């Protein structure tokens, strides 16, 4: 990025006013193409009293580009809804649709467009799915060697549940997809692999991918209606009759899906799934709160991988050899040296380029940890026990990244909190 996002926006505004055709149509096309070029994951068109605010999410951080007159709100929403085949005249109900790759000139990625009614007009969010050629393998994810090794070993497993934990935007699905590709492409023996997703982000050769739950019918979306499919837990139970060896569940959200998923792991299937949680130990507590019996967790889960994505410092960063006492996620930690973001033309003045993953691994096959789960020990005790058994906590891995100059202290606090 040779300009800031706000400067890009001003350029697009000037160019759109000079070109023939409808101003908003031309501008929307430039914003979409610009977002793809800047590797934005989301675009927000947010109507407010002062106008329609345009925002890009880049490397997990939301940037404000500028504001358009509120009188253009309806036309902006209509233009974007047309791309996804949504009903332009329905402005009082949420809608969601998919834009296939190649539908918009110059954009190779697929997109999901969702609308929602607000006080000042329809709020539109465009989500870009990651490029097909990005993070194709476990090696390309950027994890450190212990995590890479464990993920590679998962390919040889024949049963058990492997859970990837973290908040939204932490890269859980990307990690799951890389594991699926490795499973589909490894070994001399073909394995029967089925995934249940909402939504399907990328097609993976060798995997039977099924989209579950209600969603907008982008294939026949001119009707703008919702169609119903089997619930995730019922579909999972049904797919057990389809002779699968590996099952991937996009996300475990409630008790019935968790029970069906863990039952599959207990009956000789390798299960890969994601789950929202702040830490690996906290996720065990949440499963117990959902009503999952501790002996089921202990017997079915092989390990939990809790991950986050941190913005990577640009090479323009400045080293500071000064020791600091910091607090992250309630932990008091010492940082022996750190690097400060500076900003240059290459990083667009942000001080960061791209993101790196950090993780912690909680192995439930460890007998001490398994016993603590059976006894329903508190999350803090389970975390301490895991550390005693060799787990390097997420916050300590983040501190290592800070000391190596891979990320900054402000970025760590933004992602993890105090």
**For each successive 10 residues of the chain (418 residues), what is the average pLDDT?**
80 94 95 94 97 96 96 97 95 94 85 96 95 78 94 91 95 94 83 92 91 53 44 90 95 95 96 95 95 96 96 95 89 94 87 95 90 94 92 95 96 92
In angstroms, the CA 104 to CA 240 distance is 39
What is the maximum span of the chain, computed from C-alpha positions, in angstroms? Answer: 71
Of 32, 156, 131, the closest CA to residue 83 belongs to: 32
Q: What is the CA radius of gyration of the chain?
A: 23
Residue 224: the pLDDT is 37
Using CA atoms, how far residue 217 sits from 6, 99, 146, 248, 388, in Å, is 35, 11, 42, 23, 50
Cβ contacts of 402 within 8 Å, gap of 6 or more: 335, 338, 339, 408, 409, 412
In angstroms, the CA 355 to CA 57 distance is 13
Residue 307: the pLDDT is 97
Contact 277, 166 (CB under 8 A): yes
Q: Whose structure tokens read 């253009």?
A: 72
Both tokens assigned to 13? 């505004």
In angstroms, the CA 198 to CA 10 distance is 36
Contact 24, 124 (CB under 8 A): no
Query: pTM for this one?
Result: 0.88
Query: Hey, how many other C-beta atoms are within 10 angstroms of the C-beta on 268?
Result: 10
Using CA atoms, how far residue 362 sits from 162, 378, 398, in Å, is 10, 15, 17
* Domain residue limits, the chain: 5-128, 139-308+360-391
Residue 207: the pLDDT is 95
Query: Hey, how many other C-beta atoms are within 10 angstroms of the C-beta on 255?
Result: 14
Contact 187, 54 (CB under 8 A): no
Q: For 252-371, list the strands marked E by DSSP.
A: 270-275, 301-313, 318-320, 324-328, 331-335, 338-340, 352-363
Please give the CATH number for the structural domain made up of 5-128: 3.30.450.90
Both tokens assigned to 334? 């010492």
Please provide the size of the chain in residues: 418
Buried b (16+ CB within 10 A) or exposed e, 78-102: bbbbbbbbbbbeebeeebbbbbeee
Residue 308: the pLDDT is 97
Fold of 139-308+360-391: Rossmann fold (3.40.50)
In angstroms, the CA 280 to CA 382 distance is 10
Torsion, CA 341, CA 346, CA 347, CA 353, rounded to 10 = -100
Both tokens assigned to 53? 């605010």
In angstroms, the CA 16 to CA 157 distance is 55
């Amino acid at each position: 990025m040779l300009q800031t996002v706000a400067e890009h926006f001003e350029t697009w505004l000037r160019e759109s006013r000079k070109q023939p055709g409808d101003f908003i149509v031309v501008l929307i096309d430039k914003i979409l193409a610009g977002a793809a070029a800047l590797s934005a994951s989301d675009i927000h068109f947010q109507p407010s009293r002062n106008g329609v605010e345009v925002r890009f999410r880049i490397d997990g951080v939301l940037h404000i580009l500028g504001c358009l007159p509120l009188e253009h709100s309806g036309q902006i929403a209509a233009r974007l809804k047309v791309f996804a085949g949504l009903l332009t005249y329905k402005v009082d109900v949420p809608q969601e649709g998919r834009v296939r790759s190649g539908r918009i000139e110059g954009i190779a990625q697929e997109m999901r467009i969702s609308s929602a009614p607000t006080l000042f007009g329809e709020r539109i969010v465009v989500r870009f799915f990651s490029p097909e050629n990005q993070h194709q393998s476990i090696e390309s994810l950027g994890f450190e060697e212990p995590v890479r090794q464990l993920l590679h070993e998962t390919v040889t497993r024949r049963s058990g549940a492997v859970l990837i934990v973290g908040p939204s935007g932490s890269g859980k699905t990307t990690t799951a997809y890389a594991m699926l590709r490795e499973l589909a492409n490894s070994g001399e023996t073909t394995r029967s692999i089925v995934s249940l997703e909402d939504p399907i982000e990328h097609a993976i050769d060798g995997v039977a991918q099924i989209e579950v739950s209600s969603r907008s019918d982008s294939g026949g979306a001119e009707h703008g209606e919702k169609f119903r499919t089997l619930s995730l837990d019922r579909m999972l139970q049904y797919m057990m009759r389809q002779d699968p060896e590996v099952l991937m569940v996009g996300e475990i959200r409630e008790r019935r899906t968790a029970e069906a998923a863990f039952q599959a792991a207990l009956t000789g299937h390798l299960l890969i799934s994601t789950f929202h949680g702040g830490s690996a130990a906290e996720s065990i507590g949440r499963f117990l709160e959902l009503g999952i019996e501790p002996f089921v967790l202990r017997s079915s889960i092989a390990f939990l991988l809790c991950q986050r994505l941190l913005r990577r410092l640009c090479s323009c960063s400045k080293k500071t050899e000064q020791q600091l006492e910091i607090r992250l996620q309630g932990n008091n930690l010492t940082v022996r040296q750190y690097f400060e973001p500076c900003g240059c033309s290459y990083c667009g003045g942000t001080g960061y380029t791209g993101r790196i993953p950090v993780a912690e691994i909680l192995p439930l096959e460890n007998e001490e940890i398994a016993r603590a789960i059976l006894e329903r020990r508190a999350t803090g005790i389970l975390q301490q026990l895991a550390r005693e058994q060799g787990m390097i906590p997420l916050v300590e891995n983040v501190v290592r990244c800070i000391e190596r100059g891979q990320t900054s202290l402000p970025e760590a606090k933004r992602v993890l909190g105090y």
